[in-house]
Structure formats: structure tokens, C-alpha cells
Amino acid sequence: MDFYPYGMWDSWAMYNAKAKDYALSYIMGIHPVLIKDFWDAPSYPAGFPVQSAFIAVNVGYWHISIPVIISFIYYLLIVGGIISVLMHLLAYFI
């Protein structure tokens, strides 16, 4: 099984590139534009890139580990949610 810590092509080309563009634009004092026509897929949702840019702006610089950390937090939240639901179901049936 291959391991891609920074995501495969889809996330690398779309989400991480948008996040870096948003963050660096804001940090350099340029008003970030959420949709740019010259991107490969301008219709991709901007939720994850905006969250990554928010962290980068608050830290003060862009680093490639920011999307990795956010993805890991999402993973923990999903696993925690599944465990919580299973525990509630188990308590209901016992």
C-alpha cells in the first residue's frame, strides 16, 4: 500500500495549491480571490483550502505540513465519531 502524506494528485494539485495561494496572498497583503479561472478545476470546493489558509495566516507563514495536520485532525474526528456512535449503540442494546 502506498502512502502519500501530502495527498495524491487531486489534493496536491487542487486543494493544497489553492490553500497555499490563499495563505500567501493574504500574508503578502493581497486580497485572495476564491475562484480563479486559470486553475485546472476552479469549481472545486474551497472549504479545505480556506481552513488550511486560516491556520497558515494565524501561524504567519505557509508550510506544507499544515494540510497534513488538518487531514490528521479530520481522521481523528471521524474515528472518534464512529467510536462514539458504536458505544452509544452498544449501550442501547445492552
Q: Domains of the chain: which residue ranges?
A: 9-93
Q: In sequence order, what are the residues at sequence separation of 6 or more whose Cβ sits closer than 8 angstroms to the Cβ of residue 68?
A: 5, 6
Q: Please, what is the angle between helix 47-59 and helix 16-27, to 10°?
A: 40
Q: How much is the average pLDDT of 64-86?
A: 93
Q: What is the pTM of this model?
A: 0.73
Pinpoint the alpha helices (H) of the chain. 9-10, 16-27, 47-59, 65-93
Q: Are 85 and 93 in contact (CB under 8 A)?
A: no
The pLDDT of residue 84 is 96
Instruction: Give the residue with greater pLDDT, 60 vs 14.
Output: 60
Grid cell, residue 12, equals: 496536491
Q: What confidence tens digit (pLDDT) does each residue in 1-26 have?
A: 566 666 676 777 788 888 888 999 99
